[in-house]
Copies of this chain bind each other. A is one copy, B any other.
C-alpha cells in the first residue's frame, strides 16, 4: 500500500463526517513579518503593539486573513486535493484574535453533498473550524468545492444541499472581548474616517496596483502549509489548461485587503466573510487593483465603540478601478478576478 496521501474523492465524503486535519501550526512573529513583507498592510492595530495594547489587547494580533489562510491550508490535503474548482465560501465568522505563540488546528464537518449529473464530480460542502491551543474557536466558515469521483460507477448519494445565509446577520458578529476602541488614534491609523462617516452605496477606488511575482505567492502559500498542487509546479501546470501556475485565491484576497487600507484605513478587524468568488484566475506578473462598495452598516448590540460595515471588495488584474468594474449581465467585466463580501469592524466616534 502506498504511503502517500491520495486525498479524498467525492465518494469518500459522507454527510455528518468529521475530518480532523493534520499539522497544528504555531503562529510566530516570523509569520506576521512575512505577511507584512508579502502584502504591505498598514492597519495600525496589527502593525503596532502599542496601538493594540491601548485597545486592550496583550499584543498586536495577527492579520485576520493570515489566520484564515492557515486554518484553510490545513483542510486542503483532506478536502480539496482532488478538487476541480473551489466554488465558494459562506458564513465565515472570526471569533477570537490570534497572537504569535498561538497554535492553530482545523476540523471540518461535511454538511452537504451533491453529485453532478455527469457522474464524474460532485460538490462537497464542509464547515471548517479553526481552533487555538486552548480549544477556543478562532474562526469558522463554510466552503463548497467540486471534487472528482474516484470511480464514476459509484452510486450518487442523496443530494443534500445546506441552507447558507446570503450574509452573516449583524447580530451574529463577534467583537473581540475585553477591548475598547474608544478614542481610537486616527493620527496613528492614518485615516480620519470612522464608522460614522461611511454610508451604504459609497464606492471607494483604492487606487494603487501591485504586481505579483511567482516567488511571492508560492512563499505565502507555503507559509500557510497549503499544498494545492496548482500553485507550485510549473512543470505540470505548463502542460495544463493555463500553461501557468495558478495563484492561490487567498493571495488576491490578502492583496485586495491591504490595498483597501487606502480608503478604509480604520477597518481594523474582519468580523465575517459573507461570500467570496474567484471570478477569474490570477497569474504571476498580473497587477492587482481593487475597489470597494459599502453595502450596509450596522451598530453592534453589545458595543458602542465599534460599528460594522458590510463591504464588497472587487479586485481586478491589469485594470485600474476608477471605473468601478464589476458584475455585468450574467458575468463580470473583463479583468475582474475577485468578488468578496465581508463585514469589517471600525471604531466609532
* A residues with CB within 8 A of B: 2-5, 20, 22-26, 28-34, 36-40, 42, 44, 47-51, 60, 77, 100-101, 103, 105, 133, 187-191, 193, 197-198, 204-211, 213-216, 218-223, 225, 227, 229, 232-236, 245, 262-265, 285, 287, 289, 318, 320
Contacts and interface: CB of A to CB of B under 8 A. Distances in A.
A210 to B, nearest CB: 5
Given A28-B29, A211-B234, 12 more contacts: A4-B204, A4-B206, A23-B190, A29-B33, A30-B31, A36-B222, A37-B219, A40-B222, A40-B225, A50-B103, A216-B218, A233-B287
Contact of A50 (B24, B31, B36): B24
Number of chain copies forming the complex: 3
A34 B223 CA distance: 8
A49 B26 contact: yes
Contact of A4 (B189, B221, B263): B263
A31 B47 CA distance: 12
Given A39-B222, A264-B3, A211 B190 contact: no
22 contacts: A2-B204, A3-B264, A5-B262, A23-B44, A24-B47, A24-B51, A29-B30, A29-B100, A30-B33, A30-B34, A31-B33, A34-B37, A36-B222, A39-B222, A40-B225, A47-B225, A209-B233, A210-B233, A211-B214, A213-B213, A236-B287, A236-B320
B50 A26 contact: yes
A211 B188 contact: no
